[in-house]
Structure 1
Amino acid sequence: MPKISMIIALLCVTLFSAQEVSKQRVTDVLSTLASDEMKGREIGTPENDSAAIYIAKRFEENNLDYCTGNSFLVPFDYKGKTVYNVCGIKKGKSEKTLAFTAHFDHIGTTDQPGDKVFNGADDNASGVTAVIGLADFFKTNKPEFSMMFIAFNGEEKGMKGSKAISNIENLQTQYQNISALFNFEMLATVSKFGPNALYMTGDEFSDLDELFNAKAENGLKINPDPYIGQQLFYRSDNVSFVKKKVIAHSFSTVDMNSASHYHQLNDDVDIVDFDNLTQIINNLGKTFQKLTPKNFAPKYNETVNYN
Structure 2
Amino acid sequence: MNKFLLLILLGASSSLFSQKVSRERVIEVLSHLASDEMKGRETGTPENDAAALYIAKKFAENNLSFCFGDSYLVPFEYKGKVVYNVCGIKKGESEKTIAFSAHFDHIGTSDKTEDKVFNGADDNASGVTAVIGLADYFKTGKTDFSLMYIAFNGEEKGMKGSKAIVDIPNLQEQHQNISALFNFEMIATVSQFGPNTLYMTGDGFSDLDELFNGNAVNNLKIYPDPYLKQKLFYRSDNVSFVKKKIIAHSLSTVDMSKAKHYHQLNDDLEIVDFDNLTQLINNFGKTVEKLTPKNFKPIYNNTVNFN
Structure 2 distance, partners of 1:152, 1:66, is 15
Instruction: Specify the alignment match of 2:209 in structure 1.
Output: 209
SS in structure 1 at match of 2:214? helix
The answer to whether the aligner puts 1:43 opposite 2:40 as a matched pair is no
Structure 1 distance, partners of 2:151, 2:215, is 26
State the AA in 2 paired with 1:254: V
Shift in alpha-carbon separation, 1:82–1:18, aligned structure 2, 3 A: farther
Any conservation in 2 of the 1:19–1:140 contact (CA below 8 Å)?
no
Query: Which sections of structure 1, spanning at least 5 residues, go unmatched?
Result: 1-16
Instruction: Specify the alignment match of 2:59 in structure 1.
Output: 59
Instruction: Specify the alignment match of 1:192 in structure 2.
Output: 192
Please give the TM-score of this superposition, normalised by the length of structure 2. Answer: 0.94
SS in structure 1 at match of 2:217? coil
The answer to whether the aligner puts 1:76 opposite 2:72 as a matched pair is no
Instruction: Specify the alignment match of 2:170 in structure 1.
Output: 170
Any conservation in 2 of the 1:19–1:139 contact (CA below 8 Å)?
no
1:114-125 matched pairs, under 5 angstroms: 114-125=114-125
The answer to whether the aligner puts 1:263 opposite 2:263 as a matched pair is yes
Instruction: Specify the alignment match of 1:285 in structure 2.
Output: 285
Structure 2 distance, partners of 1:272, 1:141, is 30
SS in structure 2 at match of 1:215? coil
Any conservation in 2 of the 1:19–1:136 contact (CA below 8 Å)?
no
State the AA in 1 paired with 2:131: V
Task: Give the CA deviation at 1:113.
Answer: 2.7
CA-to-aligned-CA distance 1:204-237 (integer Å, 9 cap, x gap) = 0000000000000100000000001100000000
Structure 1 distance, partners of 2:113, 2:181, is 41
Structure 2 distance, partners of 1:113, 1:278, is 32
Task: Give the CA deviation at 1:159.
Answer: 0.1
Any conservation in 2 of the 1:94–1:145 contact (CA below 8 Å)?
yes
Structure 2 distance, partners of 1:279, 1:113, is 35
State the AA in 2 paired with 1:83: V
Task: Give the CA deviation at 1:142.
Answer: 1.0
Any conservation in 1 of the 2:19–2:279 contact (CA below 8 Å)?
no
Task: Give the CA deviation at 1:18.
Answer: 8.9
CA-to-aligned-CA distance 1:113-161 (integer Å, 9 cap, x gap) = 3100000000000000000000000000211000100000000000000
Instruction: Specify the alignment match of 1:14 in structure 2.
Output: none
Instruction: Specify the alignment match of 2:239 in structure 1.
Output: 239
Task: Give the CA deviation at 1:294.
Answer: 0.3
Task: Give the CA deviation at 1:68.
Answer: 1.2
Instruction: Specify the alignment match of 1:139 in structure 2.
Output: 139
Task: Give the CA deviation at 1:19.
Answer: 7.5
Instruction: Specify the alignment match of 1:304 in structure 2.
Output: 304
Structure 1 distance, partners of 2:246, 2:24, is 34
CA-to-aligned-CA distance 1:248-280 (integer Å, 9 cap, x gap) = 000000001111000000000110000000000
CA-based RMSD: 0.9
Instruction: Specify the alignment match of 1:26 in structure 2.
Output: 26
State the AA in 2 paired with 1:264: Q
The list of structure 1 runs, each at least 4 consecutive aligned residues, that deviate by more than 4 angstroms after superposition, is: none
SS in structure 1 at match of 2:298? coil
SS in structure 2 at match of 1:92? coil
State the AA in 2 paired with 1:231: K
SS in structure 1 at match of 2:87? strand
Any conservation in 2 of the 1:162–1:237 contact (CA below 8 Å)?
yes
Instruction: Specify the alignment match of 1:8 in structure 2.
Output: none
Structure 1 distance, partners of 2:163, 2:19, is 33
Any conservation in 2 of the 1:44–1:83 contact (CA below 8 Å)?
yes
Structure 2 distance, partners of 1:118, 1:151, is 19
Query: Which sections of structure 2, spanning at least 5 residues, go unmatched?
Result: 1-16
SS in structure 2 at match of 1:156? helix
CA-to-aligned-CA distance 1:66-100 (integer Å, 9 cap, x gap) = 00110000000000000000000000000000000
Greater C-alpha radius of gyration: 1
State the AA in 2 paired with 1:46: P
Any conservation in 2 of the 1:19–1:138 contact (CA below 8 Å)?
no
